[in-house]
Structure 1
């Protein structure tokens, strides 16, 4: 199997190129150069801060935290901007990554602030889950609820180690798991919306249909919370839906037929991580062998997308902005 310690070092070396001259972290192109034409995005900054915290890269962690305290913070209404210095709607998906980064960095002040924002503005006690998008001043709530933001919310809640937030993580998991597939899209009272984004099937964060990669992520998280039966069912369902004989597809419809056949690196990463956590080591080894298709030894990091013939592509993702999933897979296998 791949030398995971060396792979970890290789990924971190690539990630260091994301340091932005204006503070925090920016978007990396395919060749590892920093794309200065793009604004600094909150989800990138928080994920990079998180992975550097796990790696013990103190100086880089402080760079990410400083950007969160300054350029990303909305001093008027609280919370954080999606793009540094650009007022706009507030996303639960991004705010829970502030929680995750602060927890990993051991920044109790920032963690307390982030949890207060999430509890006050996104947590819906009646449903036991998070809303998705609110206006900058928090007065308007988008008529959409999504599994993706809640999944990463569960991850962040687990990272806090706080009993209250751990129980909330369990409540979300009970709401959204229990079958072979995770339904992604809902209305404000959590009724499934199976046709959501049918006309935009390659959406990066809200694709139409079922996302097998999220089945693997949910399996890993559910298992860590003690939902072993649910975790194994999701793991099996993600393999059944996602595997097309040569790799994992991005999305399928509700009959399990592929919709977007592109192979995204994060799907394989989450499959590996879930296999490691659930003790499915034959799958884990086989999928690490498959990862060689994604690993770009010349350019660095992993190709973020391959087409159905396993050639580098960019229909869903451009560049290589994210080492979070690949490092997560490495960490899960090293810990197993």
Structure 2
């Protein structure tokens, strides 16, 4: 008998899933979701990264879909963070990293914006009233700044004002794009 097809394996998977959900709850900070150390403590010196906040929005959207208690409030927190301190209200898109005092890294990184797409698309499945607006905005930013029709690939990063992009085209950004686009289907 294969272990993958057993009830005990399914129970183990569910326990591990709940353990991960419980561990991640510790990452809530005022500006989004923070960097956790191995023992689940916030590493304040790391700031609040867009990619972590967006991934946690995705994780707790999945948890909400699974009916996990408290998950929807974390989806709400993630959406507020994506519309709050992380969002660049002057030039658009999101900062790479912020903290309680302001912007730490103002660059606009493709990899991180594609995780914003993943988080926003997942949040739509929860029925949150702000999720669709967040997804539409994210798609607009990605289409405008992170897709090169001429090159048929994603642009890696921009400066804060979206006035200068780097020439490097890396695999990690392309990989994150693929997963995020699939999540939007």
Q: TM-score range by the shorter chain?
A: 0.7 to 0.9
Distance 2:90 2:31 in 1: 21
Q: Is the CA contact (8 Å cut-off) linking 1:96 and 1:156 kept in structure 2?
A: yes
| Aligned match of 2:175 | 151
Q: Is the CA contact (8 Å cut-off) linking 2:122 and 2:183 kept in structure 1?
A: yes
Q: Is the CA contact (8 Å cut-off) linking 2:147 and 2:154 kept in structure 1?
A: yes
Pick the aligned partner of 2:143 from 107, 119, 126.
Answer: 119
| Aligned match of 2:155 | 131
Higher relative contact order (CA 8 A, sep 6+): 2
| Aligned match of 1:190 | none
SS of the aligned residue for 1:53 comes to helix
Q: Is the CA contact (8 Å cut-off) linking 1:42 and 1:72 kept in structure 2?
A: yes
Distance 1:144 1:40 in 2: 25
Unaligned runs of 5+ in 2: 4-8, 65-70, 125-130
Q: Within the alignment, does 1:31 sit opposite 2:45 as a pair? A: no
Q: CA deviation at 1:24?
A: 1.7
| Aligned match of 2:24 | 15
Q: Is the CA contact (8 Å cut-off) linking 1:92 and 1:122 kept in structure 2?
A: yes
Q: Within the alignment, does 1:49 sit opposite 2:57 as a pair? A: yes
Distance 2:136 2:117 in 1: 8
Distance 1:10 1:89 in 2: 34
TM-score (norm 2): 0.83
| Aligned match of 1:80 | 94
| Aligned match of 2:119 | 101
| Aligned match of 1:110 | 134
Distance 2:155 2:44 in 1: 32
In the TM superposition, structure 1's runs of 4+ consecutive aligned residues that sit over 6 Å from their partners are none
TM-score (norm 1): 0.46
* Superposition map of 1:265-280 within 5 A: none
Unaligned runs of 5+ in 1: 162-336
RMSD: 1.2
Distance 1:147 1:108 in 2: 29
Looking at secondary structure, tell me which structure has more helix per residue: 2
Q: Is the CA contact (8 Å cut-off) linking 1:46 and 1:64 kept in structure 2?
A: yes
Which string of whole-angstrom CA distances, capped at 9 and with x for unpartnered residues, describes residues 8-47 of structure 1? 1111111111111x23210111111111222111111111
Structure (1 or 2) with the larger CA radius of gyration: 1
| Aligned match of 1:140 | 164
Distance 2:182 2:72 in 1: 22
Q: Is the CA contact (8 Å cut-off) linking 1:23 and 1:67 kept in structure 2?
A: yes
Distance 1:115 1:156 in 2: 11
Q: Is the CA contact (8 Å cut-off) linking 1:23 and 1:63 kept in structure 2?
A: no
Q: Is the CA contact (8 Å cut-off) linking 2:31 and 2:84 kept in structure 1?
A: no
